[in-house]
Structure 1
Amino acid sequence: MAFVNGNQSLQLNDESDVEEEALVNDYKEQVNFDDAQSDIEQASSIGAGATDIQAQLAAAATPLEYQATLETKFASYDNYCSLFHYILNSEGPVDLEVPNYFWAWDVIDEFIYQFESFCRYRNRVARTAPHEDEAQLLRENPNTWGCYSVLNVLYSLIQRSQINEQLAAQKRGEDAMAVVGDYGTRPLYRMLGYFSIIGLLRVHCLLGDFSLALKTLDDIEMNKKAMFARVMAAHFTTYYYVGFSYMMLRRYADAIRMFSHILVYVSRTKNFQKGSNNFDAIAKKNDQMYALIAICVSFVPTRLDDTIHTALREKYGEGLNRLQRGGPEALPLFEELFRSACPKFISPTPPDFDNPSSNIDPVDHQTAIFMDEVKNTIYNPTVKSYLKLYSTMDLKKLSSFLEVEPEQLRSWLLVNKQRSRQTRWSEGGLLEGEVVNASELDYAVEGELIHVSEAKQGRRLVDWYLRNLARAY
C-alpha cells in the first residue's frame, strides 16, 4: 500500500497471514519457554551455587528477588561481570548452546532492570538516609552497577557480534554472512548482541538522551519481521521507549504512530499473552502507553483506531476531554499521567552522600521538563477555537479575548507556529523524516493581522495511516 501526498510517499509493509501465524507460533513457544524457566529454582544471587557456565547462563535470565539485600545486589553485579567477561574476553568465540532468543532477551532485560533498580535505590538512600550503614556501603562502592560498566557491556556485545553490520547488510539486500565475523556466526553472540541494541535504546532513554536512544536503532527494521517482535516483552519494550523518546522530542505524530502500532497489536494477540510469565508486566506497560497516547493526542489531535479510541474513553472519560480542552485545570492531570507512565529515570553518576539536598530525583527532573512544555502549549485549544472562526483576525482583538498583552500573544503565536512544524518519520533512521505542519490550522502574522488557513495536507497523511493501521495486521 502506498499513499502519495504531493512529493511525499508513505509505504506500509504488506505482511501476509503466514507471517502473522509464524509470530503467533513464536508467542506460543515463548509461553512454553516461560513455563520451563519457572521450574528453575530461584537463587538469591545469579551465581549462587553455580559451578559451571551453563548454570550461570540459566541463572542470568532469572529475576532477582524483590526483597534482595544490598549484599545480594552486589553479588549479582559481580556474577554478571564474571559471566560477560567470560563471553567477551575468552580466547576466541565461546562455544555454548543457548536455549533460544527468548533466553537472550531475558538476560539483557534482567541485567538492565537490576542496573535501573540499583541506581534508583542508591539515589533514594542518598536523599533520605545518607548516614546509615547501607549508605556507607554504597559510598565505598561507587563503581558497582556503574553506568559506564553497563554501557560497556552492551556496546561490547554489539561490537563482538557485529550485529549492526549484519543488519545493515540485510537492509541493503546483501549477504550478511560476508560481514558476520567469527563471533557473529555463533547464536550466543548474535542474539545477545541484537538484544543489546534494544537494551541501549532503553538505557539511553532512562538517562534522558532521547536522540541517542533512537539513533541506536538505525539498523533495525521497525516491523513484525524484526527479531524483537518475536519476543513479547521485547516487542512492547521497543515500541514503548521509541514512542516515549519521540514524545520527549516533541514529535507527537510519530509517538502516536508507535503507540498505536503496539496497542492495536496487543488487542489482537491478547489471547496468547495470558499464559506468559510476563503478562502482568505487559499489562502494566499497556496501561502506560494508553496514558502516553492520551497526552500526545491532546497536543496533536489525531484520528485514532476505533479500538484505541474506545479504550481511551473507557479509561479516562472526562479526563480525556479535560486534557484536550487545555487550560490551567488540565495541568495536574498532565503531570499525574506523565508520572504514572514515564520510565523510571536514573542518573548517570553516583549520588552525593555528603550533600543529600543536591541529589535531585531524575523522575522529578524529567517531569519538570515535560511540564514546561505543557505550560507552553496549555492555551493551544482555546486559541485554535477562536482562529477557526476567522480567516483574518486582528491581533489586538484576539489578545483582548485571551486577556493577555498583544506583544505577549505575538510571541506566543510565533513560538507555537514553530512548534507545529514537526519532523515525521516514514523510512530510514528513526531520527530522520520530513518536516510537516502537524496542526490542522496554519496562520501567518502580518503586522497587526493574523491570517488563518487550514493545513489539511499533513493531517491527511497521519489520518490515512492510522485508519489503515489495523488492515496491515
Structure 2
Amino acid sequence: MQNNNNNRKGGNKQQQGGNNNQQRQGGNKNANYNKQQGGQQGGNQQGGNQQKGRKIPTNVESFPITLTPAQVQQHQQYQQSMQNNQSGQFQSSYLPPAQQLFTPVINYFVNFFTNFKSQSHSDILVSYDNFFKSCETYYSNCALPTIDVFLAVLGDKYEDTFTDRFFVLLYREIYYRYYFALVSQPNIGICVESWRNYSAIFDTLLEAATPNEVEIDLPNAWLWDIVDEFVYQYHTFAKFKLKKVDVDQLTEIWDTTSVIRYLYLIIKKSQIFSANSSRFENATDDFCSHPVYKMLGYYSVISLVRVQCLLGDYTLALKTLELIDMGKKAMYTYVTACHITLYYYLGFAYLMSRKYNEATKALNTILVSVASKTKSQNFQSDHNEKKIDKMYALLAICQALYPNKIDENVNNTLKEKFGDKLLKLQKGDISVYEELYSYSSPRCINAVNPHLSGHSSNALDAHRLQMALFLEEVKQQSLLTTIRSYITLYSTISIQKLAGLLQIDPEELRIKLTCYKHKNVNVLGKGETKYHNQVDIDFYIDQDMIHIDNRLYAKETDSFINSILKFEGSLTPQYNWM
C-alpha cells in the first residue's frame, strides 16, 4: 500500500505521495496478510483457525462484542466440530467472529475514520497501515469486527454523508480482504457478500454524473489493493467452482463476464483513453482529472491483463498492454506491488506466446529494477519476494529455451537459485520444466463453469491444459538447443555429418532443422505485425549442405574491425611543417 501521487489539489502532495509510497511498501502485504501466506495458513490450520497468532498484549482494556444469531449458530457448529475432531468442513472456509473489541483497535479505527474524512493522503496512509497492524496483533485467529460494531463506537461522528457511506463500503472491502487472506477457500456466504460489496463500490463510482459528486481521494496503494483484491477473489472463487458443483446456480456471482465488464466500465468511466488525449497519463478532462477515477482506470487495465492471462488469452493480454506506457516513470511504478504484477504477467504472456527473447527482456528489466530498490529501500514483503522468485523461475525456462544475454547480477542470482535445474533444462529434462512451470505460472482458470455432462473436472482443468500445451511445446524443441550448439561451430556442414554427430537419421534432422527455423521466427515486440528471426544464428539448406550465418559473431567482428581502423587513423603520424 503506497501513497497516491495524484492529489487533486496540489502538485506538492503528488510528489510527496510518490516518495512515501516506496518507503511503506514493505509493510503493505504484512498488514494485508499476503495472499499466498494466507492460503498456506488456511491449509495448515487445525480446524481452519488454530494457527499460532501474535500474542495479545496484557493489560489492554477490551469490551465484549454481541454476536448475531447467525454468527452464534455458525460458531457453535465450529466449536462442536472441533470437539468431535471433524473440522474438515471448517478446515479452510471459516473464521470465528471477533468477540472482543480492544481499546487500541478502537483508537486506530476512529483515527482512520477521522483522517479519511480530512482527505489527507499522508494521514490516511499512516492510519491505513496502523489499523492493519493492530488487527494483526489482536485478530490474528479470527475475522475483524464488523462495521456495525465500529459504527456504534463512532456515534455522532458518523454523519451519513457520501464520504461516510463510502468509507463503510471500503471498510467492508477490508473486512472481506482480511477474511480471504486467512482462509484458502472462504464459504459461499462470504463470497456472495464480498461480491455484492464490490458491486456497491463500483456502481457508486460508475453512477456518478460528474467527478464532483465523488468527494473522496484515496492513496494509490489503496486503489491498487481494491482492484488487485477484486481479481484475486474472482480467481479464488473460480478455483473453488472447479471443485464444487453446488455453486452452479450462482451464475452472476464472480462470473467472468461480470468481472471483465466491471473492469471495462471503470476504464471507460475514467476516460483515460479519451480522443482528446494522446497520452492518457497527462489527460486533464472530465473524470480523468479525478485521481480516483484516473488511477482506478489505469489499474483496471493492468488487472484486465491479469484476467486475460488467467483465461489463457495471451495474445489479447499483450494487445491490451500496448495501452500502457512502459517507460521508467510510468504510473505503474508508483506502487511496487503493481510494478511487479505487471511485469510478471507480461513475462508469462510472452513465454506462452513463444516470444522468449521478449520474455527475457521483460523479466530482466523488472529483476534489475527490484534488485536496485531492495538495496536502498528494502521495501519487499513476503508476497513480492515470492513473486520475484517465480519470475526467476520463468527466466530460467526462457534461458533454457532461448539463451540470451542478461544482467550479470541477475544471472548470478539465477544460478544461485536454479543453477542445478538450468543444466537439466538445457538437457531437455521435461520433469524439471514441469516442476518450474507448476511453481512459477499463475493457476489458469476456465471462463465458464467446467461441470459439463460426461466430463470430469480434472479433464477440464484449465491449468492442466495450459501446462500440457507448454510441455508439448518444450518436447518439440527438445533437440533444438543441441542443434544450435553444433551449428555455432561451423560456417558450413553437411546434413549427413551433423546427423552423425547428433546420432539421428538425416531425414529426421532435416525435419528438426525446419522446426528450428519455425520456432525461432515470431512477431517482434508488442505493436509490430511483421515476423522477425529471433535467433543470433541463422542458416539455410542448399541441397545437402547447411550454410550458417552467425550474426552474433559477425556483429562482434565488424565492431572489432571498425575499432582497428579507427585507431589506425588516430595513430597515423602527423607532421607539422614550419
Match of 1:378 in 2: 478
Q: Gapped runs of 5+ residues in structure 2?
A: 1-13, 28-124, 152-163, 557-578
Q: Which amino acid aligns with 2:226?
A: V
For the 8 Å contact 1:46–1:79, the answer to whether it is kept is no
Aligned residue number for residue 415 of structure 1: 515
Match of 1:114 in 2: 233
1:142 aligns with 2:137: no
Partner Cα distance (1:333, 1:382) in 2 = 17
Q: Does 1:84 align with 2:183?
A: no
Maintained 8 Å contact 2:231/2:303: yes
Using the size of structure 1 for normalisation, the TM-score is 0.80
Identify which of 540, 547, 550 aligns with 1:454.
Answer: 550
Q: Structure 1 pair 249/55, CA: closer, same or farther in 2 (3 Å)?
A: same
| 1:366-405 to 2 correspondences below 5 Å | 366-405=466-505
Q: Check 1:226–1:375 CA distance in 2 against 1; reply closer, same or farther (3 A cut).
A: same
Q: How many angstroms does 1:377 deviate by?
A: 1.0
Letter paired with 2:470: F
Output one character per residue of 1:277-327: Cα deviation in whole Å (capped at 9) or x when no partner: xx1110000000000001111122112211111111111222212222x33
8 Å contact from structure 1 (residues 46, 59) kept in 2: no
Q: Deviations over 1:84-119 (max 9, x none)?
A: 122212444441313211111000000000000110
The aligned length equals: 418
Q: Is the 8 A contact 1:88 1:160 kept in 2?
A: yes
Secondary structure (helix, strand or coil) at the match of 1:444 reads strand
Contact 2:373 2:379 in 1 (8 A): no
- Structure 2 residue 339 is matched with structure 1 residue 235: yes
Corresponding position of 1:27: 22
Quote how far apart the aligned CAs of 1:186 are: 2.0
Contact 2:205 2:214 in 1 (8 A): no
Deviation at 1:40, TM superposition (A): 7.5
Shift of 1:185: 2.4
Provide the C-alpha distance between the structure 2 equivalents of 1:396 and 1:116, rounded to a whole number of angstroms.
Answer: 52
Instruction: Output the CA distance in 2 between the equivalents of 1:459 and 1:122.
Output: 54
Partners of 1:440 and 1:455 within 8 A in 2 = yes
Identity among equivalent positions (%) equals 32
Match of 1:411, SS state, is helix
SS at match of 1:163: coil
Q: Find the aligned partners of 1:82 and 1:336 in 2 and give their Cα distance.
A: 41
Residues 81, 296 of structure 1: CA spacing in aligned structure 2 closer, same or farther, 3 A cutoff? same
Measure, in 2, the Cα distance between the counterparts of 1:258 and 1:417.
24
- Displacement after TM superposition at 1:275 (Å): 5.7
Question: What's 2:417 paired with?
Answer: 315
> For 1:20 and 1:309, how far apart are their aligned partners in 2?
34
**Amino acid paired to 1:158:** I
1:19-418 aligned at under 5 Å gives the runs 25-28=20-23, 30=25, 31=27, 33=126, 35-36=129-130, 38-39=132-133, 49=148, 52-61=165-174, 63-65=177-179, 66-67=182-183, 68-93=186-211, 94-125=213-244, 135-136=245-246, 138-165=247-274, 169-170=278-279, 176-177=283-284, 180-181=285-286, 183-271=287-375, 274=378, 279-324=381-426, 326-327=427-428, 330-352=429-451, 354-355=453-454, 357=456, 359-418=459-518
Structure 1 window deviating more from structure 2 (265-274 vs 439-448): it is 265-274
| 331 and 298 in structure 1: CA distance in 2 versus 1, 3 angstrom threshold | same
Comparing 229-238 and 57-66, the one that deviates more:
57-66
Contact 1:47 1:79 in 2 (8 A): no
Q: Partner amino acid for 2:394?
A: L
Task: Work out the CA distance in 2 between the residues paired with 1:35 and 1:245.
Answer: 33
Distance 1:378 1:261, change over 3 A: same
Letter of the 2:384 counterpart: I
Larger radius of gyration: 2
CA distance in 2, matches of 1:24, 1:73: 36
Equivalent residue of 1:422, what SS?
strand
- The letter of the residue matching 1:268 is S
Which amino acid is 1:86 matched to? T
C-alpha contact (below 8 Å) 1:44/1:72 kept by paired residues: no
1:166 CA displacement: 7.7
Structure 1 pair 275–254 and aligned structure 2 pair: CA distance change class (3 A): closer
1:6 paired residue number:
none
RMSD: 3.0
Deviation at 1:376, TM superposition (A): 1.2
Q: How has the CA–CA distance of structure 1 residues 205 and 46 changed in structure 2, closer, same or farther, with 3 Å as cutoff?
A: farther
1:369 deviates by 1.0
Does the 8 Å contact 1:45/1:72 carry over to 2? no
Give secondary structure in 2 for the equivalent of 1:317. helix
Deviations for 1:388-407, whole angstroms, at most 9, x for unmatched residues? 33322222332343343333
SS in 1 for 2:278: helix
TM-fit CA distance, 1:143: 2.4
1:5 is matched with: none
Kept after mapping to 1: 8 A contact 2:356/2:401: yes
Report what 1:424 is aligned to: 524
**C-alpha deviation, 1:198, in angstroms:** 0.7
CA contact (8 A) 2:308 2:314 kept: yes
Q: Indicate conservation of the 8 Å contact 1:440/1:454, yes or no.
A: yes
Letter in 1 for 2:339: H
Q: Give SS of 2:540's match.
A: strand
Deviations 1:160-213 (A, max 9, x none): 111123895237x9x623xx33x2222221121111011111111111111111
The gaps in structure 1 that reach 5 residues or longer are 1-18, 126-134, 461-473
After TM superposition, the structure 1 stretch with the greater mean CA deviation from structure 2, 191-200 or 107-116, is 191-200
**Secondary structure, in 3 states, of the residue corresponding to 1:169?**
coil
CA contact (8 A) 1:46 1:76 kept: no
Deviations 1:432-460 (A, max 9, x none): 37754322321111222211220228988
User: Which whole-Å CA distance do the structure 2 matches of 1:371 and 1:397 have between them?
Assistant: 30
Q: 1:457 to 1:152 in 2, by over 3 A?
A: farther
Deviates more, 1:77-86 or 1:381-390: 381-390
How far, CA to CA, are the matches of 2:322 and 2:553 in structure 1? 28
**Distance across 2 between alignment mates of 1:167 and 1:198:** 22
Query: Which letter maps to 1:77?
Result: W
Q: Structure 2: how far apart are the matches of 1:334 and 1:201? A: 25
Separation (CA, whole Å) in 2 of partners of 1:290 and 1:450 = 36
- Read off the aligned partner of 2:283 and give its amino acid letter: A
Specify which structure has the bigger relative contact order, considering alpha-carbon pairs within 8 angstroms and separated by 6 or more residues.
1
CA distance in 2, matches of 1:452, 1:400: 18
SS at match of 2:522: strand
The 1:165/1:383 distance shift into structure 2, 3 A limit, reads same
Question: Relative to structure 1, is the Cα distance of residues 378 and 348 closer, same or farther in structure 2, using a 3 angstrom cutoff?
Answer: same
**Bigger mean CA offset, 86-95 vs 232-241:** 86-95
AA matched with 2:390: Q
